[in-house]
């Protein structure tokens, strides 16, 4: 995103707010006193006090008694993915000098300000604090961010003579994304219930994978449907370059926004250029360009020993030599988030969801001995990957066993099912994830996130989500924990009969 002019653009021109009745004189904050209703005391005041006006370039670290004037581009909630607690409200603001700055409202003050704020409206903010911008949450160039403090007051800007600039975007190319790959983290969202995966062709003719998540995915679907499925150009802001299965891909973040064909000037210009270059879209083979590199076990082991190595996914073709016996081949997970359930006095608990009574569902946690030309390794097959390998759900196999063996107790170790044993000798394509404990040389056991037949096309489904920052990482966290637990020889509770609370 460009430091000058990034803004929330709608199909209609943005109007200055400030002459629309009583609200135009309303100041929102917590300083001073005023004659207001009892329900609004301490939150809405009328004040003529105006401090010195500071531009965004003049904002420094520490408290400011002056005033900034801006247009609110966009705002979004930031949640802690682990505790599911709202952290703060993040915003992008632009001033009349075309400088974009990031701002945030701490959790305890969100209710005071949020209901009076609207994307595209213009405001003045008196008294604020200049804080250091956190690198992993940073979506604007300045290293300082504007924090709403306890005595901050925000009001609608009435001066219609102040004209804020048009909305501009910085368009990045492949080389810029590659240089920034895996350097910054994501802003968490609580649920990753919706994902859209696209192949997009850049101006340089290169094809990349674009992953849209949650609200951004929903926004894209709504706009694409409204276009009748004919939209050809997409512009997405605040993208996070990541490597999926060793391939450079682009992933949306919480503050990302999506624009199609005629939404903004940039998409209109690109669409016009594309219409004059009809041969462009036909000269790139997306399947070839985005096909991930196939890695041998030797290459994987070598990668894990490299000092700069990071968590990453690889595609490899391996033959199954054996199925590891003598330990549980599944675990009992939460039926909602799939995290390993904890056994309570009378029910199953889920620490991740924070529920004291859950339905336990059997999930795959099976170890396979695999080999290629010269090397051998142990693959741990988790969750859906186990079903892709055997064609059967773990819960189905567990239930069938207990139905056929009515006399066994709950603590009985369920033997490895025949469906898993029948995979011995098969050569399959595995998507494996190199986890943190692989990089620290604690284990060479590799986690499988997807299993494909040899002739299958490039998968369009879940390849494991984002590296470390992706909100739907509960299963991966469990995978890391489970693999290490298995390597330590500790018996998994998944070898016991599933219970529901």
Q: How confident is the model at residue 433 (pLDDT cuts 50, 70, 90)?
A: confident
| In the block, residue with structure tokens 């994987």 | 300
Residue 426, pLDDT score: 92
**Contact in structure between 142 and 3 (CB atoms under 8 Å):** yes
Kindly report each contact of residues 270-273 with a partner whose C-beta sits within 8 Å and lies 24 or more positions away, as own/partner: 270/203, 270/233, 270/235, 271/232, 271/233
Does 496 have pLDDT greater than 50? no
Neighbours of 52 (CB within 10 A): 9
- Span 357-368, pLDDT tens digits: 888 899 999 999
187-196, 324-333, 440-449: which range is least confident on average?
Answer: 187-196
Does 493 have pLDDT greater than 70? no
Region 330-351: mean pLDDT is: 86
Exposed / middle / buried, residue 62 (Cβ in 10 Å: 0-12, 13-18, 19+): exposed
Region 18-24: mean pLDDT is: 32
Collapse the DSSP code of 424 into the 3-class scheme (helix H, G, I; strand E, B; otherwise coil) and give the result: coil
d(CA 345, CA 340) in angstroms, rounded, equals 16
Does 208 have pLDDT greater than 60? yes
Does 12 have pLDDT greater than 50? no
Does 226 have pLDDT greater than 70? yes
- Span 77-97, pLDDT tens digits: 888 766 778 888 889 899 988
Q: Name all domains of the chain by residue range, CATH numbers in brackets.
A: 22-156 (2.40.50.140), 174-290 (2.40.50), 297-495 (2.40.50.140)
Q: How confident is the model at residue 369 (pLDDT cuts 50, 70, 90)?
A: very high
Beta-bridge partner residues of 27? 45, 155
Residue 42, pLDDT score: 34
Which of the pair, 6 or 220, is modelled with greater confidence?
220
Enumerate residues 6+ apart whose C-beta is below 8 A from 90. Answer: 75, 76, 77, 78, 102, 103, 104, 137, 139, 187, 254, 255
Region 269-281: mean pLDDT is: 82
Region 321-347: mean pLDDT is: 85
- Span 446-463, pLDDT tens digits: 999 889 877 644 444 444
DSSP state of 417: P
Tell me whether strands 446-452 and 376-382 are parallel, antiparallel or unpaired: parallel
Residue 172, pLDDT score: 80
d(CA 235, CA 74) in angstroms, rounded, equals 16
**Contact in structure between 85 and 77 (CB atoms under 8 Å):** no
Residue 381, pLDDT score: 92
d(CA 360, CA 338) in angstroms, rounded, equals 9
Collapse the DSSP code of 385 into the 3-class scheme (helix H, G, I; strand E, B; otherwise coil) and give the result: helix
- Region of 227 please: left (phi>0), alpha (psi -120 to 50) or beta: alpha
Strands of the sheet containing 207-213, edge to edge, are 195-201, 207-213, 247-252, 239-244
d(CA 318, CA 124) in angstroms, rounded, equals 62
């Amino acid at each position: 995103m460009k430091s000058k002019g990034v803004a929330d653009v709608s199909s209609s021109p943005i109007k200055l707010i400030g002459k629309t009745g009583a609200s135009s004189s309303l100041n929102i904050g917590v300083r001073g006193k005023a004659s207001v209703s009892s329900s609004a005391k301490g939150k809405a005041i009328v004040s003529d006090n105006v401090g010195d006006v500071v531009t965004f370039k003049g904002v420094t670290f520490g408290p400011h008694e002056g005033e900034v004037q801006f247009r609110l581009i966009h705002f979004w909630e930031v949640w802690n993915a682990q505790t599911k607690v709202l952290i703060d409200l993040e915003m992008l603001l632009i001033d009349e000098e075309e400088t974009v700055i990031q701002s945030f409202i701490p959790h305890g003050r969100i209710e005071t300000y949020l209901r009076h704020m609207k994307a595209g409206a213009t405001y003045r903010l008196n008294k604020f604090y200049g804080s250091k911008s956190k690198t992993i949450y940073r979506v604007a160039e300045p290293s300082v961010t504007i924090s709403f403090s306890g005595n901050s007051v925000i009001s609608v800007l009435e001066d219609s003579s102040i004209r804020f600039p048009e909305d501009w975007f910085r368009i990045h190319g492949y080389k810029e994304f590659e240089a920034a790959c895996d350097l910054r983290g994501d802003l968490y969202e609580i649920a990753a219930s919706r994902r859209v995966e696209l192949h997009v062709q850049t101006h340089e003719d290169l094809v990349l994978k674009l992953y849209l998540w949650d609200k951004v995915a929903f926004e894209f679907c709504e706009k694409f449907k409204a276009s009748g499925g004919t939209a050809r150009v997409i512009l997405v802001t605040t993208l996070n370059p990541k490597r999926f299965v060793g391939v450079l891909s682009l992933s949306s973040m919480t503050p990302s926004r999506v624009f199609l064909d005629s939404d903004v000037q940039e998409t209109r210009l690109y669409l016009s250029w594309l219409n004059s270059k009809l041969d462009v879209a036909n000269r790139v083979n997306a399947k070839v360009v985005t096909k991930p590199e196939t890695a041998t076990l030797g290459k994987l082991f070598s990668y894990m020993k490299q000092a700069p190595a990071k968590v990453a996914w690889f595609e490899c073709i391996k033959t199954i030599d054996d199925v590891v016996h003598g330990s549980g081949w599944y675990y009992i997970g939460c039926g909602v988030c799939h995290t390993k359930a904890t056994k309570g006095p009378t029910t199953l608990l889920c620490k991740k969801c924070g529920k004291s009574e859950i339905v336990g569902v059997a999930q795959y946690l099976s170890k396979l001995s695999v080999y290629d030309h010269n090397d051998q390794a142990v693959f741990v097959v988790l969750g859906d990957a186990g079903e892709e390998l055997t064609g059967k759900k773990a819960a189905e196999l567990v239930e069938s066993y207990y139905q056929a063996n009515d006399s066994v107790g709950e603590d009985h170790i369920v033997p490895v099912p025949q469906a898993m044993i029948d995979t011995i000798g098969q050569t399959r394509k595995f998507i494996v994830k190199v986890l943190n404990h692989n990089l620290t040389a604690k284990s060479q056991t590799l986690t499988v996130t997807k299993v494909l037949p040899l002739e299958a096309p490039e998968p369009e489904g879940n390849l494991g989500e984002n590296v470390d920052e992706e909100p739907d990482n509960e299963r991966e966290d469990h995978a890391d924990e489970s693999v290490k637990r298995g390597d330590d020889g500790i018996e998994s509770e998944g070898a016991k009969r599933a219970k529901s609370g």
